[in-house]
Amino acid sequence: MSIEQGFAIRRNGTCIANVEIPCGTTGFLSNGMVGCCPNGLACPHAYNIDCCPQGKNCTMAIVATPRCSNSSWDLFDNGGYFCCERGLKAYNDQGTNICADPGKTGPGILLELIKAGETAVPSSSSASSTSTTPATATSAPSTAISSQQPSQDSGPPIGAIVGGVVGGVAALAILALLAFLLMRARRRHQNDNTSANPYAALHQNQGEELGGREVPMPHQLDDTQMTYEAGEGKTRYAYVKEMPAETAPVELPAGEQPPR
């Protein structure tokens, strides 16, 4: 809805208080209607009640481009332009312009509508508040949906990932500890064998020093072991015994030979 210079409206009785200003009665009948202009405009005594800016006569301008001073009013013509409230019918009653309800039969001739008024549109402030209110009301559910969305579409939770990493590190630590204990047990077993058989260790060390060649180890012959005599290449068997420690050595006579 816009307010501008244009033609006045016809009302039955009085103008709307604090919204319109009265411009006097119209027509030739005693029950004629009142002409009204929107606040802020003046109605000079001119052709068919015009609504013009203060101190100006705009009759020629609005006759050239007919329009109502309030864009929501309907424009009619009866030898001169005038306006009625949107939806009302206009009649010519003995030369007087009358606006009546559509359901009522007018006292005169029905006039043709020249230009329909615009539908009232809410002001920018009311429209913005109306459009903002639903957005504010629906913002909470949309936030709730967005906050629930990650739980449905996200991947594995962080707790599960951290637990898996910690479990893997613990498993590696246990395997490393088992390997260390196994190597330690093997080394201890080798040390025990070496202390129980020092000649084996010595043989092993000498074998390593001599490039892997076998070296006979010193040991005491038992009484059934064969003895070898150099010379004829024959093998002689003899019981080799060690003299007891408490027996004194005896010298053989000069003419006797040891048995062979």
Interval 57-75: pLDDT, tens: 898 999 999 999 999 999 9
| Lowest-confidence region among 17-26, 40-49, 162-171, 195-204 | 195-204
Residue 94, number of CB atoms within 10 A of its CB: 11
pLDDT of residue 191 exceeding 60, the answer is: yes
Q: Is the pTM of this model over 0.75?
A: no
Mean pLDDT highest for which of 42-51, 129-138, 199-208?
Answer: 42-51
| Distance, CA of 252 to CA of 196 (rounded, Å) | 43
- 6-33 in b/e form (b: 16+ CB < 10 A) is bbbbbbeeebeeeebbebebbbeeeebb
Mean pLDDT highest for which of 139-153, 168-182, 238-252?
Answer: 168-182
Q: Is 3 exposed, middle or buried (0-12, 13-18, 19+ CB in 10 A)?
A: middle
Q: Are 113 and 74 in contact (CB under 8 A)?
A: yes
Q: Is 88 exposed, middle or buried (0-12, 13-18, 19+ CB in 10 A)?
A: buried
Two tokens, residue 1: 């809805």
Q: Which amino acid is at 85?
A: E
Q: Where are the alpha helices (DSSP H) in 107-196?
A: 124-153, 158-196
